[in-house]
A = this chain, B = another copy of it.
Amino acid sequence: MTPFKLTDELIAEINLLIAENNAGALLDMMSDLHYADIAEIVHELDDVEAVYLIKLLDSETTSDVLAELDEDVRETILRKLSAKEIADELLELDTDDAADIIGELPKERVSEIISQIEDREHARDIVDLLRYDEGTAGSLMAKELVKVNENWSVLTCVKEMRAQAENVRRVHSIYVVDDEDKLKGRLSLKDLLTTSTRTAIKDVYIPKVDYVSVNDEAEEVEKIMSKYDLEAIPVIDELGRLVGRITIDDIVDFIKDEAEKDYQLAAGITQDVEADDSIWELTKARLPWLLIGMLGGLGAASIIGGFQDVLTQYQALVLFIPLIQATAGNVGVQSSAIVVQGLANDTIKGELWGRLLKEGLLGLVNGLAIALIVLLISHFAFGTTYFESATICVALVSVVIIAALIGTFIPIFLDKRGIDPAVATGPFITTSNDVFGILIYFLIAKMILGF
């Protein structure tokens, strides 16, 4: 398959066709494209062009394109559509996508749009989904699913399913409920293919079924679905009633978003920014972390200021400030990254003390390796005295060990307090280790060089 490729030429051609008001040629071009590709194109158009193109497409395509767009682009477009137009688009979408789109709009607008949705059941389902907090299973689920009553015969079941399947894009499992709508089990489509139609549902359904609760955390849902290789999972409410299902494509998006967020946090970037965002957006996401680093740098400056006497007498020590600082920062980031990942994967078990001991040992090994090399180089290349070399090496080993301990302790501590440990990687750890590293360096210098 030749994947769709967005080129400057293609965009130029579309710009031209829009300028010429050549609806026919545009529709021709779009009819060959997947809605995800059209969404990519819309991202490259200006507001007026985007609305022109969106209004040109048939309602089903438009709704799918809208669901794919980035929030900010979608907001601009929705502002130019009437409540009735938006209501018609929502009708074409699955309830989860519809709820995501409408959830971003101002409250009065939402009521206006909801009141215009023709299919009242669909409208009720969307309103129902708006109740759930972001980051819960309820906020990820869709109301579309295929369910059958355990008291039905397979024949009734197949008939009912055919009707229900019309509203469901993809049938994963057929869920079995009792008369009170409580989830009892599932029927697999494969079983359906290979089972005689005369069998009774009660006798064929699989009573073992994985499920999550509306209030479970999205992260928990992701872990269950990945671990057990599920493509869909039913969601029950507080009373055990089947209220929705979450499909793997939503989980794929969730995993990718979370991975991006963690990666950015580790690099000292808050908010979900992209390279193409405005300088103002990027500054908001980056400057706060730089200011943390600045405070650390000023802290280090005061520490060095406090040890002027050492520096005046042993000027060679100045040379190795960057080495101490860089090593402390690097070790801290390594330790914290491993712990943050371990916490995310639930592979951090056992006691805190055992883990700290192990990190300490690891620090000792790495610290000694580095110190040995630095010992030789500092002595022969920089002509430091024995005492100065000793200071640098003892400081290096200590700094590596302490940086490893800090990098291990802080994420675990935050996690226990219910704070996302991912914030404690990157600049945060680097900065605290910079300051501690330099303090340790000069304290050891004072001890060894005898003040």
Mark A residues whose CB is within 8 Å of B: 1, 3, 6, 34, 36, 158, 161-162, 165-166, 168-171, 189-190, 193-194, 210-213, 220, 223-229, 231, 248-249, 251-253, 255-256, 259-260, 262-264, 266-269, 273-276, 279, 282-283, 286-287, 289-291, 293-294, 296-298, 300-302, 304-305, 308, 311-312, 315, 318-327, 329-331, 333-334, 336-339, 341-342, 345, 347-349, 355, 358, 361-362, 365-366, 369-370, 373-374, 377-378, 381-382, 400, 425-427, 430-431, 434, 438
Q: Which residues of chain B are within 8 angstroms of A312 by Cβ–Cβ distance? A: 315
Inter-subunit contact A319/B331 (CB<8 Å): no
Complex Cα distance, B269 from A224, in Å, reads 28
Residue of B nearest to A34 (CB): B228
Of residues A6, A330, A355, which shows the largest number of chain B Cβ atoms within 10 Å of its Cβ? A330
CB distance from A278 to the nearest CB of B (A): 10
- A161-B193, A190-B170 are known contacts. Are A334 and B382 too (CB-CB below 8 A)? no
Given A263-B259, A269-B334, A318-B304; A275-B347 close (CB under 8 Å): yes
Give the residues in chain B near A321, CB-CB below 8 Å: 304, 318, 321-322
A-B pairs, top 10 by smallest CB distance, nearest first, are A297-B323, A267-B337, A259-B259, A300-B322, A275-B342, A301-B319, A229-B249, A293-B330, A293-B326, A297-B326
Instruction: Jot down 11 A-B pairs with beta carbons below 8 A, ordered by A.
Output: A1-B212, A3-B224, A166-B194, A226-B249, A226-B256, A262-B263, A266-B337, A267-B334, A282-B362, A286-B362, A294-B326
- A43 to B, closest residue via Cβ: B347
Query: Would you call the interface of chain A mostly helix, strand, loop, or mixed?
Result: helix
Whole-angstrom distance between the Cβ of A409 and the nearest chain B Cβ: 13
Interface centre among A333, A358, A361 (most CB of B within 10 A): A333
| Contacting residues, chain B, for A228 (C-beta < 8 A) | 34, 36
Contact residue among B223, B263, B338, B431 (Cβ-Cβ distance under 8 Å from A274): B338
Closest B residue to A225 using CB positions: B252
Q: Are A291 and B248 in contact (CB under 8 A)?
A: no
- Cβ contact within 8 Å between A369 and B287: yes
Do A330 and B300 have beta carbons less than 8 Å apart?
no
Cβ of A377: which chain B residues have Cβ within 8 Å of it?
298
In the complex, the count of this chain's copies comes to 2
Contact of A326 (CB < 8 Å), options: B210, B287, B325, B358: B325
- CA–CA, A327 to B291, complex, Å? 9
Report the separation of the CA atoms of residues A358 and B262 in the bound assembly, to the nearest whole angstrom: 24
Contact A326 B36 (CB under 8 A): no
Tell which of A211, A229, A256 has the most Cβ of chain B within 10 Å.
A229
- Inter-chain CA distance A62–B321, complex, in Å, is 56
List chain B residues, Cβ under 8 A from A374.
Answer: 294, 298
CB closest chain-B residue, reference A36: B227
Residues of B within 8 A of A260 (CB): 341
B322 touches A325 (CB 8 A): yes
Q: Are A231 and B249 in contact (CB under 8 A)?
A: yes
Contact B327 A329 (CB under 8 A): no
Q: By CB atoms of chain B within 10 A, which of A226, A263, A291, A305 has the most? A: A263
Find out whether the CB atom of B290 lies under 8 angstroms from the CB atom of A366.
yes
Residues of B within 8 A of A190 (CB): 165, 168-171
